[in-house]
Amino acid sequence: MTVDATEQRSADQEPEAKIDKAVEETFPASDPPAIGGTTRLEETHSESDREARIRRRAYELWEKAGCPNDHTDEYWHRAEAEISAENSGGAGGPGSP
């Protein structure tokens, strides 16, 4: 006697397979669903330029301080404040381009 493949499935598997098929049909093959994380937003040219200027200035400040191993984010924050002041029309800090 031959056993049909559908007879070998348990009652639990059949509804699950129908759900899986229904879910798969809701997503086009060319556009799979995103898996976790957030959507990455592209930086504008001016944002990347600003970040590069902050990075250079923070490095200058860090070098002037003798290249210490701690409090590195302080230099970033100081450089960021200087660049922001420049962009808002305020007086630029030392070493401003």
| Residue 64 in this model has a pLDDT that exceeds 90 | yes
| Residue 42 in this model has a pLDDT that exceeds 80 | no
**Segment 81-93, tens digit of pLDDT:** 999 998 887 554 4
Collect all residues with Cβ–Cβ distance below 8 Å to 96 and sequence separation of at least 6: 57, 82, 86
CA gap 22, 97 in Å, rounded: 60
pLDDT average, residue stretch 27-48: 62
Both tokens of 87, joined, read 């962009």
CA gap 19, 9 in Å, rounded: 15
